[in-house]
Copies of this chain bind each other. A is one copy, B any other.
Amino acid sequence: MKISAIVTLKKEVLDPQGKVVNQTLKNMGYKNINNVRQGKYFEIEIDETNEKNAKNTMEEICKKLLANSIIEDFTINLK
């Protein structure tokens, strides 16, 4: 089963990468773009048939490894 997670910086943490992308887009002529946030995406192949188990494992992994709770939030998606 494939399962994915998106890890983003918490709102109160400055996201310089997103800021640079935003600025670059403005310079390229995209005037209607107001805000850009950048994050990380992880896709995992897991030997598991039960969706709930897979989700639980992913959540555990995010907490233990993939996200740093001081600065980051995460969301999980089944593919």
A residues whose Cβ falls under 8 Å from a Cβ of B: 6-8, 18, 21, 24-25, 28, 30, 32-48, 57, 61, 64-66
Q: Which residue of B lies closest to A64 (CB)?
A: B28
Select which of B25, B30, B41, B46 is within 8 A of A38 by beta carbon.
B41
Nearest residue in B to A7 (C-beta to C-beta)?
B41
Contact among B35, B41, B57 for A39, CB-based, below 8 A? B41
Which among B34, B37, B41 is the interface contact of A6 at CB below 8 angstroms?
B41
Given A30-B57, A65-B24, A65-B28, answer yes or no on A44-B36 (Cβ-Cβ < 8 Å). yes
In the complex, which residues of chain B have a beta carbon less than 8 angstroms from the beta carbon of A24?
A: 65
| Chain B proximity of A12: nearest CB distance (Å) | 16
